[in-house]
Amino acid sequence: MPSDQSTWLIAVPQDGDSEGLLQEVSPKLSQQSKSTLVAQLSIPSFKTGTLDGLISLSEELPKQETFFTNTVAKTVDTLRNLLNNDPSKLKDHVLVNEQSVDDYLIKDWKWNEGRYGIQRGLREIMDTLNKEMVSIDNAMKAKLTNYNLVKGSLVQMQRKKTGNLSLRSLVDVVSKEDFVQDSEYLETLLVAVPKANVKDWHAKYEHLGSMVVPRSTASIASDEEYTLFSVVVFRRVHDEFVQKCRENKFIVRDFVFSEEELAKQQQELETADTTEKELWTELLRLSRTNFSESLQMLVHLKVVRLFVESVLRYGLPANYTGVVVKPDPKSAKKTFGVLQSQFAYLRPRSNRSSGKASTEEEFAGEYQTLMEQEFFDFVFYEVPWIVY
């Protein structure tokens, strides 16, 4: 049983009018659910080439399909992450030629003759599709890596501005007036004191070193856990003072005030923020474009698989038609049952080996067990739905 969260692509031998098949199948499927969408799927008459070539393609296409499917999925994941997992925004960006995936498959799908002319061989068409998908995958990886590096750098800078006063950056907390300037002998230290120990600080700080300037402490900032104090000491007792603070659970912050450094850090933060926004926009635009491109390539690959497997199963002439079905999940099982009944007449054809059959057709029968893990009377592939 196929997934009820995918759109079904079906191919069968064309015995007469292809539109007649749609007219016959559509009412039967609608009886199961009015929400089921059905449309004709035009399958081009490709050059079949040799039997060996078709068998070789049949063996390679599943691997390529996995790669194509994963590339589409990774692009969707990138969009989802860029849009903060907002389903409504994601829905606005996973479009194919500015229309929904459903509209593309049900209303607007046709083989792109301009890019993948059917006068070329199947192998050449698949090589072109594969090269294009590899190019998309590589471009996405490069752009995503670049964005993540800048984003990581920005997050690291922003993280320094968060947390309590014993951890966070003090660049935007202190000012020039909090420090002794241009003194050969004196320096200002910044100490984060737990709020429960503030009284202890006032009682002890003058005695934490042999050369602490009396009444030199001042409260600069406070949060829920710590109060940041400044204190003036002689440079020669710096290490002694730091050690005494550590023993009393006072945290001396390693900070030297510099207007140049302050301006530099602020500029770096602004530059990183601007660059991140620019790269976010570029990556969003690229992901949106590449989703449209990669989804179309995936569908084209599946149509090639429909054709190849149809030739191997039903033989020549290579004239096939198909339908695309978007089932209602609630009635998917019944809908698929209708399709199995509709195409049950193909059972003897998909297993035929009569004396009138060509050598190629007889040989193809030997490979039927390799063609699909789950065997139906019609050739069948799925396009997974995008989860919003």
DSSP 228-254: EEEEEEEGGGHHHHHHHHHHTT-EEE-
- Taking the C-alpha atoms of residue 63 and residue 43, their distance in angstroms, rounded to an integer, is 22
Q: Is residue 324 part of a domain?
A: no
Same domain, 247 and 281: no
Same domain, 120 and 74: yes
Same domain, 97 and 126: yes
Same domain, 251 and 281: no
Return the pLDDT at 369: 42
Same domain, 249 and 286: no
Beta-bridge mates of residue 38: 325
Q: Would you give the end-to-end CA distance of the chain in angstroms?
A: 24
DSSP 5: T
CA 380 → CA 9, 59, 139, distances in Å?
A: 6, 16, 32
Q: Is residue 148 part of a domain?
A: yes
Return the pLDDT at 317: 83
- Tokens coding 91: 């829905």
Same domain, 139 and 214: no
- Strands, sheet with 320-326, edge to edge from the N-terminal-most edge strand: 37-41, 320-326, 6-13, 379-384
Same domain, 283 and 314: yes
- Tokens coding 387: 């989860």
Q: Is residue 52 part of a domain?
A: yes
CA 378 → CA 116, 336, 351, 381, 384, distances in Å?
A: 25, 11, 12, 10, 19
Indicate which CATH number applies to the domain containing 235.
3.30.70.100
**In this structure, are residues 100 and 292 in contact, taking their beta carbons and an 8 Å threshold?**
no
Q: Is residue 160 part of a domain?
A: no
**In this structure, are residues 363 and 349 in contact, taking their beta carbons and an 8 Å threshold?**
no
Last residue of a domain, one of 210, 229, 256: 256
Which residues make Cβ contacts (< 8 Å) with residue 172, sequence separation at least 6? Answer: 161
**13 prior amide bond cis, ω within 30:** no
Same domain, 104 and 135: yes
Per run of 10 residues, the mean pLDDT along the chain (length 388 residues) is 91 75 86 88 91 94 96 97 95 95 93 94 96 97 96 88 87 89 92 96 94 96 96 95 96 87 85 96 97 97 96 88 92 92 79 41 44 73 92
* pTM listed for this prediction: 0.79
Question: Residues 101-118, buried b or exposed e (16+ Cβ, 10 A)?
Answer: bbebbbeebebeeeebee
**In this structure, are residues 314 and 364 in contact, taking their beta carbons and an 8 Å threshold?**
no
Q: Please, how many CA atoms are within 13 Å of residue 376, restricted to the half-sphere of its CB?
A: 21
Last residue of a domain, one of 223, 256, 289: 256
Q: Is residue 149 part of a domain?
A: yes
Q: Is residue 17 part of a domain?
A: no
Pairing of strands 226-234, 218-222: antiparallel
**What angle do helix axes 122-159 and 259-314 make, rounded to 10 degrees?**
160
Residue 142 burial (CB count, 10 A)? 11
Same domain, 224 and 287: no
Q: Is residue 268 part of a domain?
A: no
Domain encompassing residue 75: 44-153+275-319+350-384
**In this structure, are residues 237 and 212 in contact, taking their beta carbons and an 8 Å threshold?**
yes
CA 198 → CA 82, 114, 188, 203, distances in Å?
A: 44, 77, 19, 9
Same domain, 141 and 220: no
Q: Is residue 82 part of a domain?
A: yes
Indicate the helix (H) or strand (E) that contains 277.
helix 259-314
Nearest one of 267, 328, 303, 307 to 383, comparing CA atoms: 303
Same domain, 241 and 291: no
- Domains held by the chain: number: 2
Indicate which CATH number applies to the domain containing 280.
1.20.1460.10
- Taking the C-alpha atoms of residue 60 and residue 58, their distance in angstroms, rounded to an integer, is 6
Same domain, 93 and 194: no
